[in-house]
Amino acid sequence: MALTAAKLATYIQRAAQDAAFTRAAILDLLNEGQEQIAAGIPLPPEKRVISSPLQGLKDTDTVDTGTAAYVALPDDYQRGLFFVASSDQDKRIKVYESYTEFLAQYPNLDETGTYVDAVCVKGNSLYYQPIPSSAETLTLHFYRVPTDMAYSGDNTTPDGIPDHLQKKLLVNYALTEIFAADPQAAAVFQARLDAAILEMESCNGTDGEAYNVEPEWDEYI
């Protein structure tokens, strides 16, 4: 069962024993931790690779091409564009993971044609080539930004984080931040957080597996 933000805050308050951290401040830490975890946390021990996308945050949205070689990504896009389809062409569109490789193929970003052949994410934009002669609708599959938690209302529980890991991840994230000025205490909570991150990764699959989960095409036509 998912834990509420209020329950998570209670765990944090009991461990912190510091009245300076109000429930509002703790909620900010919970939402900060949730977003950081969704965006990718460096995997211990080397911390050179980030954690995989959270499967519960898969999302779909559409964008329309224009006269430029790029269009803004959806507002809730966070990471991992893993599938793009064109309903105009009734086909899948190639996704370049590297903008450098995309530029090597389309150095001037000025090719024109009937339809889009390939896309690539750079910053907050989706680049595409060639630029189609008329607007083309592209369906994007990606991992979205998690919805912030609140103590009341519709969003009182973590978004996208597996139920059994919510306390381990979010409470230890918050306590690591709270005890930042006490390296010895912070190290204890950081070690617990690292263990939870590795547990999350073992449940979530490898990075490659997470990015290559593809929808069935007939679901989207």
* Sequence ranges of the domains in the chain: 5-53+147-209, 55-144
Helix (H, G, I), strand (E, B) or coil at 25: helix
Q: Give tens-digit pLDDT for 43-79.
A: 998 888 999 999 999 999 999 999 999 999 999 999 9
Q: Is pLDDT of 214 > 50?
A: no
Distance between CA 16 and CA 20 in Å, rounded? 10
Element (H, E) at 2: none
Residue 143's alpha-carbon distances to 123, 134, 218, in angstroms, are 15, 28, 21
Higher pLDDT, 219 or 120: 120
Q: Give tens-digit pLDDT for 121-180.
A: 999 999 999 999 999 999 999 999 999 999 999 999 999 999 999 999 999 999 999 999
Distance between CA 152 and CA 213 in Å, rounded? 34
pTM for this predicted structure: 0.88
What pLDDT does 205 receive? 56
What residues have CB less than 8 Å from 108, skipping those under 6 apart? none
